Structure 1
Amino acid sequence: MPSLSYPTAFRIASREMRSSRGKFFFVILSVAIGVAALTGVRGFSNSFRTTLLTRARSIMAADLSARTNQQPTPSEAEGLATIEREGVQMTPVTELLSMASAAKTLDPLLISLKAVDPSAYPYYGTVDLEPTSTLQQVLTPDSVVVADDLLVRLHLQIGDQLKIGNKLFRIASVVTNEPDRLSSQFAAGPRVLISRQGLDASGLLAPGSHAGQRFLFKVPAPANGAPISDAAVADLKARLIKLLPESQITDYRETNPALTAGLDQATSLLSLMSLVALVLGAVGVAMAMRAHLQQRLDTIAIMKSLGAGSGQIIKIYLIQTLLLGLAGGVVGVGLGVGVQLAFPYLLASLINVRPELHLDLRAIAAGLGAGVLTTFLFTLPPLLDIRGIRPILILRRAVDETDEPWHVKLVRLFTKNLAQIGAFLLILAGLALIAFRISDSASVGKWFTVGLAAVLAVLLLASFLVLKALKFFLTRTRLHLPSAVRHGLANLYRPGNPSSALLAALGMGVMQIMMVFLMQNAVVKQLHISSAPNLPNIFLVDIANDEIDGMRKLLTSAPGITAPPELLPVVSSRILAIDGVSANDIKTKNFPKHMLRSIQLTWAEAVPPGATVASGKWWTKAQSAAAADHPVVAVADFQAKRLGLKIGSVITFAAQDKQFDATVAAFTRSDGQHAYSRAEFILPERALTGLPVIWYGGVHVDPTKVAALQRALYAAYPTVTVINVAQALETIRAVVIQIIYVVQFLAAFSIFAGIVILASSIAGTRYRRIREVVVLKTLGATRAHIASIFSIEFAVLGLVAGLVGVFFANIVVKGLLRALTVPNTFQWGWSLGGLFGTAILTVATGWIASHRILGQKPLEVLREE
């Protein structure tokens, strides 16, 4: 037979597609839903994540911050100037303690002064003022903006004069919230914002003054309008660490651990959803195309008997596959874009965020390419089966070939399917490429592909063993079972029925749907802890040891208190050596050595609120009792990395006249929202007995009662500084809650898409049942009997696939949650629900697709065939 041209192959393929619209509906539906979930979930999650990252940046008011207690050297200043010339914006923020007095009464008051350039500060977020205005409008060289408690303490009003240094300033407004309040130093005294010109005019910056300096940096946005990448921030951070070795460099992701953890976990979960949607669509394509090619065996055999070669027939069905993939991809991209645009309106009542949505043509092209590529890859195995089809085998395709020993069959199967093995490897390579493109991570692509291959192999093996076990069971109980049960179970391993492949495909689908559900369930539970409404939003600084009992009583009885107060004892100390290396010789990372002379120690007998043990072990009662002679210490993990510590390291501390060695027993990780979040070195109480203590506190107050509490605290303890971060923490809590809603919504959408794809895969098997129904009806079987047979087959198929899928989903989720440092417990209820839900879905979908067959007469069905 002459070679088949592509135009001719295209005409044959399109003609067959028109005559088999119903069959191809499932293929197009699987591709479309998979691509829609991929583009919709990925597109919206990227836009939403960009919006949330902007919120995260507002907590620092910049992309990066460099904190130092000294002015840059000439070489450092030149390096900063070079960075500015490259387009990076930079503004200094100076913080220091000073005395202020009212021009009327000259009452002195210790204040926390913060000097900024109102034309640049803040780069992200806003400074909230009362009455409403902008910092640039009210902050001039002759004016200041003050916290409300300063007005209370000095009996002043807006418009009065305040003397700072040797200059009088007009109080222009009251500051109610600073975007970077949580990343500023918690210093004693009410907050006062002053312009940099005003600070210079006050004369406070004399040589040798102990002013803290922060440099805020904003990375320039890309020219194509895309959001600032994490890589650009990381590159600038690395440059600043080299340029400013005595400065503490942090980026916006380090400002609030709860928000950072929430973003990281949500991003990982959303990427997983995109990959799951992709594979579920591929599973649906593979099942539907396999069912179609099984139905075309007669046509293929006839074409071969007329002289057509395997390559020519494969060309026809390859073109058909690509057309179906393209059609499904186009429909899916359209649905995905619609979904991406609809999500903000559907979520409008839940999240007060309207993401800036960009229809990224590259993302659309990636979604379309993924649809076509997965369709092609997953139909390769059935396409390659065409080479082995012979006309004579069609006549007995539903009959077992021989009764050879199992090892002979295994060898023959391996040698016969070398091309199939190659196709499987090609599928894995293609999925790895797509996974890398979606996740932007070679590691994610690699592990996703390796995990997929391992799980698929185990699922195929498990399906094979389950079918063998059923066959063995039937041989032992055949005469004791009702005929419908016997026939329904036997259908699972009848010749020509690809139950093993269908079981593996359904098992993988169930596994991935359950993975998304269990992952989002655990992540959302953890995020709910981070967004709890009773976290401290008022912090207290410098509580004397003899004031702590009275302070505890006041905080317990004051109106508006919603949770017990958290009180943190602090002992001032310094580090003399680490593992025998003197402090002057220690090699630190992004940690100014002068800070080794100002270390704060605290004690706790149990893991404090908001902290978890990242590595090592918390001390036992015996270790605590022996702490006076052999102290142990828990160190914040970020501080441990900067100091080069490891479990078992020995730190030599000095406090007052006492010097002692402490062995590192654990590294802790804090959520940044409790009083103990600022505790970097925690020891047993016995280790610090007899040393002078200053207390810090934290308590959650109803935001409407904050002002009243501040006045009560000032009246009872005028030397205690009250830090009001209620507004800042409410912002963080709102963002975390928004993350929760979006994760739940997108997970629900992905699960729904997966269920539709699985349903279409099951429905695609209806064409293999037509001939069986005809034969049974011809032999006199009633509709009820046939319905019982198929119901048992569907139910067992669903239960087995659900059991395998749910089992492996729990195993994979446990590993993923451990990698995300999210606590995990086995979800018995949801796992059983997934198991029986799969059985119900399988039975319902099978009958929705097959019920019409029962109502048709055998002759009508045979004519359709």
Structure 2
Amino acid sequence: MNRSFETFADLPEAGSEPPPRSALSQRLGRLRLAVLFARRELRTGTRGFRVFIACIALGVATIAGVGSLARGLTDSLDLQSRALLGGDLETSRVHRPLQPDEQAAMDKLGPTSSVATFRAMARSPASGDQTLAEVKAVDGAYPLVGTLDVAGGGDPHALLAEHDGRWGVLADPALAARLGLKLGDPITVGTLEARLTGLIAREPDRLASGFELGPRLMLDARALPATSLVGPGSLVTWRTRIILGEPAPPDAVVTARKTALDAAFPDAGWRLRGRSEAATGFADSVRRFAQYLTVVGLSALAVGGVGVANAVAAFVARKRATIGMLRSLGASGLFVFAVALIQVIAIAAVGIVIGLVIGALVPPIAGALLAAKLPVGGLGGVFPGALALAALYGLLTALVFSLWPLGRVHDVSPSVLVRDRIGADGGGRPRRGYAIATGLAALALAGLAIGLAEDRRLAAVFVVGLAGSFLLLRLVAWALGSMARSVRPRRAEIRLALAEIGRPGALTGTVVLSLGLGLTLLVALAGIDRNLRDELAGRLPATAPSFFFLDVPRADLDGFKTFLTTEAPGATVTSVPMLRGRLLALKGIPVADYKVPKTVEWVLSSDRGITFAAKQPDHSTLTAGTWWPADVSGPPQVSFAADIARDLDLEVGDTVKVNVLGRTLEARIANLRTVDWDTLGINFVMVFSPNTFAGAPYSELATLSFPDGGREAEEVRLMRDLGRTFPTVTAVRVKETLETIDGLVDQLALAIRATAGIALTASILVLAGALAASHESRIYDAVILKTLGATRWRLIAIYGLEYLILALATGLFAVAAGSAAAYAVVAGIMKIPFHLSLASAAGFTLFAVAVTVGFGLVGTWRALGHRPAAVLREL
């Protein structure tokens, strides 16, 4: 028995000499022996580790599901990019289609198709109802790639053709529902009187059009002149798609053709996109949203980590006799640690596998449930990269929260066999090596979360915030225990409840940590969502115009204003010239080579609305430079929005090159001015001096603001009257636009809440597990108090007060910390006013009380059911 335990299992036969063994073979022998012991211990099952497994599985499933779905979407975008764009290459330009030489160059590259897109009012002649529609005029070659499907079948081009002097149109089912139309009913677009001949079931290139405010209305390009909506200065986007060959050429060929076209027409002012750029905005949104949900999944893992630590600590306590026996047989502390660690990793692997299976099922299930809403299909399949990353997160989380309690077994003494509970875990802190290993595992987890993040700054903030939350919650638990020990109330029930909170091994730390983390996250997300909704639904409609009117002809402007002031007396009407232009260069540097922050990439990525003015716009203040005189002449000058100029590193005196109406011009920045984007009024990044566009064709952009914000009835009446008098003017009702945006916020909020609910579920699991683990000690406490004369209801009151105090402290901290985090996001990042809802704060606090007290009393009631005599016999 004096030989070490490691060599005892390998004793040679009597009369023989032990063969010499290298250090490596000795280590491998000890490892095999540790695996053997761990495997035998695991035969008893996973009792005590169910919460451990559930917490790991929940977090891994979230990360694996989000990662797999994001990868499935992006892979589908890549595979279907040709159909999404409508070809291999696309040119797009506002105001004017391709010129003959440009079209000839395109035709040499392969088959082409052209479409025109714009916003207009679609009207029902029968009812007078109208709605904003996204109109697409297509030629006979559309679509070059993919199929345009019509509900019920049929040839789309035959349905769009002219019959009996009336053109046919195809509509999104939502548009037909808004106007109360059925197939065959008349519909008006501008001055075109058409007939609804079909409903669009699938539009292959819908995603390439970007964000749209209204449902689709499709017509034949030959019917465009009859609408009277297309003319000089009209806000029409002309797109031409090209097929470069069959089968689809490599991306390198597409890039080469794109570069050659840009070189051949440097001043075309178009936007050239290859098929790989068909849905870059959507793909970026998917990646950002996936990162956000991954962060929430990591929060669920972190919350579950508390349950992991509790389960491992309970495991060490249960195995103290076994550990003591192994130590008495000569096993080293490192060997005992290895046996325990192998068991924990094996059990963690069970949770990881369960989580991976659930996560792998997310893409096909989401694809089936959201087939009508997702822009791409084919989300089935397994994505090993996403699953491997989730598994690594799960393994590192298990190590971070188990190494510390497992490290204590190193110093467990054989004396536990005779001292029962004394020295069960070898002390409060493990040896330095185990503490260092815990720190390294935590650093590896944090480094993985930050290093693989799309936005590393956001990930770093999350990691620091999560670590800070752990420390704060530990501090809250310590403070609560200290106060409980220092207070000595007269009433026995309160004194005993406080004693339970402040005693060694109390539930205080577990309850505060587990429930506090999940509830803090939920409070923060709810606060952000609520304030964003208040901003959209409350302040903006009160200050924003009621209507935007697009494409008001210059010749009709006076009559149009007279009509508005007559139909809406007291309303404020404003108008400005409106053109679209594309920035080509800043400070002489082409925009393709100009490095800008992601926050202002939108300024350079597409055409911008621009205007010109002799006077400084109202409600703006110059921050640098001076405004030009009313009779300005000479080279073009431009006023730039100060916040955008700062992010683009532009100053007064710098030059910008813009293409407008096919004309490339260079203007000097004369001044910088403040712009209040939140008002939704007429604001422009660039305002040019009036001499810049002398003689250029343009339309007017007008707004109407009711003094009381406007009522729905008068806004609907105005739209109907406007449609009859000015059929070519497009009216955008701001409240409808905000409702559309609010709908998108609803969908995002639903996903966010569902994922945050996972973190809260992990919190409740940890809480339930901790209460279950304390069941034995509750039985002993209850028996002793019963023996001393305590009644069942007095014991319930004692434990109920304990849980109530813990829940109130945790709930109040979660409300305070979550509200602070929401304030940082809302006021610091979104730059909108923050309002704390006391009703929500009270609701979350009551939720914490209900969960904690409810679970606690259920466990207490079970503990009180044990008869004292049966328990006392075992003491």
Of residues 853-862 and 423-432 in structure 1, the stretch that sits farther from structure 2 once superposed is 853-862
Q: Match for 2:407 among 384, 390, 399?
A: 384
2:670 is aligned with 1:665: no
**What's the offset of the Cα at 1:380?**
0.7
Deviation at 1:747, TM superposition (A): 4.2
**Which residue in 2 is equivalent to 1:610?**
none
| 1:801 partnered with 2:787 | no
1:138-217 → structure 2 map (5 Å cutoff): 194=221, 214=239
State whether structure 2 residue 372 is matched by structure 1 residue 358: no
Letter in 2 for 1:39: A
Shift of 1:637: 8.2
Deviating more after overlay: 354-363 vs 268-277: 354-363
Contact kept? 1:344, 1:355, Cα under 8 Å = yes
Match of 1:542 in 2: 553
Picking from 673, 694, 701, the partner of 1:696 is: 701
TM-score for both structures, normalised by structure 1: 0.65
Work out which of the residue numbers 93, 104, 112 in structure 2 matches 1:67: 93
Q: Deviations over 1:599-643 (max 9, x none)?
A: 445999887xxxxxxxxxx549x99xx9999x9998568974897
Which residue, out of 292, 296, 320, partners 1:297? 320
- Of 819, 823, 828, the match for 1:814: 823
- In the TM superposition, residue 115 of structure 1 has moved relative to its aligned partner by 8.3
User: Of 576, 592, 614, which residue of structure 2 is paired with 1:570?
Assistant: 576
Secondary structure in 2 aligned to 1:282? helix
> How far apart, CA to CA, are the structure 1 residues paired with 2:717 and 2:199?
16
Residues 648 and 489 of structure 1, relative CA distance in 2, 3 Å threshold: farther
Distance in 2 between residues matched to 1:320 and 1:45, nearest whole Å: 34
Q: Equivalent of 1:852, from 859, 862, 865?
A: 862
For residue 830 of structure 2, give the secondary structure of its aligned residue in structure 1.
coil
Q: For residues 315-335 of structure 1, what are the alpha-carbon distances to aligned partners after superposition, in whole Å with 9 as ceiling and x for unaligned?
A: 221111012111222233344
1:481 to 474, 490, 500: 490
Query: In 1, distance between residues paired with 2:841 and 2:528?
Result: 13
The amino acid across from 1:570 in the alignment is V
2:93 counterpart letter in structure 1: R
CA deviations on 1:333-365 (whole Å, 9 max, x unpaired) are 3444556666677889x9799975324342334
Q: In structure 2, do the counterparts of structure 1 residues 708 and 374 end up closer, same or farther at CA, with 3 Å as the change threshold?
A: same
The 3 A distance-change label for structure 1 pair 744 and 499 is closer
Shift in Å, 1:381: 0.6
Query: Distance between the aligned counterparts of 1:151 and 1:494, measured in 2?
Result: 78
Structure 2 counterpart of 1:30: 55
- The structure-2 alpha-carbon separation of the partners of 1:856 and 1:174, relative to structure 1 and needing over 3 Å to count, comes to closer
- Who is 1:427 aligned against? 441
Moved more, 759-768 or 798-807: 759-768
| Cα shift at 1:516 | 4.0
Query: Contact 1:601 / 1:681 at 8 angstroms: preserved in 2?
Result: no
Matched residue SS, 1:360: coil
Separation in 2, partners of 1:243, 1:445: 44
Counterpart of 1:611? none
SS of alignment partner, residue 23 of structure 1? coil
| Aligned residue identity for 1:467 | G
AA partner of residue 862 (structure 2): R
Displacement, 1:488? 2.0
- Cα distance in 1, alignment partners of residues 523 and 256 from structure 2: 38
Q: Which runs of 5+ in 2 are unaligned?
A: 10-29, 119-133, 171-185, 593-602, 659-666, 690-696
CA separation in 1, counterparts of 2:862 and 2:255?
61
Change (3 A) 1:796 1:364: same
Change (3 A) 1:424 1:413: same
SS of 1:308 mapped into structure 2: coil
Match for 2:497: what amino acid?
A: G
Question: Structure 2: how far apart are the matches of 1:385 and 1:219?
Answer: 68
**Could you tell me which amino acid in structure 1 is paired with residue 802 of structure 2?**
E
2:482: which partner in 1?
A: 468
Residue 708 of structure 1: CA displacement? 11
Q: Return the offset for 1:285.
A: 1.5
Matches within 5 A, 1:774-793: 774-777=783-786, 779-793=788-802
Residues 585, 351 of structure 1: alpha-carbon distance in 2 compared, 3 angstrom cutoff = closer
The one-character-per-residue Cα deviations of 1:200-254 (angstroms, maximum 9, x if unpaired) are xxxx99xxxx99865558999x99xxxx9xxx99999999999976435488999
Indicate yes or no: 2:840 matched with 1:830: yes
1:458 aligns with 2:472: yes
Aligned: 1:645 with 2:664? no
Change in 2 beyond 3 A, CA 1:180/1:487: closer
Give 1:814's aligned amino acid: Y
Q: Contact 1:484 / 1:785 at 8 angstroms: preserved in 2?
A: yes
Query: Where do residues 300-315 of structure 1 align in structure 2 (5 Å cutoff)?
Result: 300-315=323-338
Alpha-carbon distance in structure 2 between the residues aligned to 1:751 and 1:837: 11
Within 5 A, what are the aligned runs for 1:356-755? 356-362=378-384, 363-392=386-415, 418-436=432-450, 439-472=453-486, 474=487, 478=488, 480-497=489-506, 499-500=508-509, 503-522=512-531, 539-542=550-553, 544-553=556-565, 556=568, 568-571=574-577, 587=589, 589=591, 599-601=611-613, 619=621, 635=640, 640=645, 645=650, 663-667=671-675, 669=677, 676=682, 679-681=684-686, 695-697=700-702, 713=722, 716-717=725-726, 721-722=729-730, 738-748=747-757, 750-755=759-764
Partner of 1:645: helix, strand, or coil? coil
Aligned pair count reads 753
Offset, 1:829: 2.5
Cα deviation, 1:692-747, whole Å, max 9, x if unaligned, reads: 997424689999999999996576457x5447999999988866654454444444
Q: How many Å separate the matches in 2 of 1:638 and 1:257? A: 25
**1:283 equivalenced with 2:306 (yes/no):** yes
Change (3 A) 1:338 1:212: closer
Taking the TM superposition and a 5 Å limit, the aligned residue runs for 1:87-98 are: none
Shift in Å at residue 27 of structure 1? Answer: 1.7
Contact persistence 2:117–2:135 (CA under 8 A): yes
Q: Quick one: which amino acid aligns to residue 837 of structure 2?
A: Q
Q: 1:840 — aligned with what?
A: 850
Pair 1:134 & 2:137 matched? no
For 1:836 and 1:378, how far apart are their aligned partners in 2? 29
Aligned residues of 1:64 and 1:216 also touching (Cα < 8 A): yes
CA 1:74/1:340 → structure 2, altered by over 3 Å: closer, same or farther?
Answer: closer
Residues 438 and 601 (structure 1 numbering): CA distance in 2 closer, same or farther, change over 3 Å? same
* Unaligned residue ranges in structure 1 (runs of 5+): 97-111, 159-170, 402-411, 558-563, 608-617, 654-658, 685-691
Seq. identity, %: 20
Deviations 1:673-694 (A, max 9, x none): x7847x444799xxxxxxx997
**Mapped partners of 1:315, 1:801: distance in 2:** 36
Give the drift of 1:844: 1.9
Tell me the distance in 2 between the aligned counterparts of 1:122 and 1:46.
27
Provide, for residues 806-854 of structure 1, a one-character-per-residue CA deviation record: whole Å limited to 9, x for no partner. Answer: 3222223333445752744333332332233223322222333443222
Change (3 A) 1:115 1:459: closer
Once residues 190 and 452 of structure 2 are traced to their aligned partners in structure 1, the CA distance between those partners, rounded to angstroms, is 57
- Structure 1, 632-641 or 661-670: larger mean CA deviation: 632-641
What's the C-alpha RMSD, in Å, of the aligned pairs?
A: 6.8
Q: Deviations over 1:516-567 (max 9, x none)?
A: 444454566667789999986974422544224333157659xxxxxx9995
Letter aligned with residue 589 of structure 1: V
Q: Distance in 1 between matches of 2:236 and 2:522?
A: 55
Contact preservation (8 Å) 1:14, 1:320: yes
- 1:2 aligns with one of 1, 5, 29: 5
**TM superposition score normalised by structure 2:** 0.64
Letter in 1 for 2:59: G
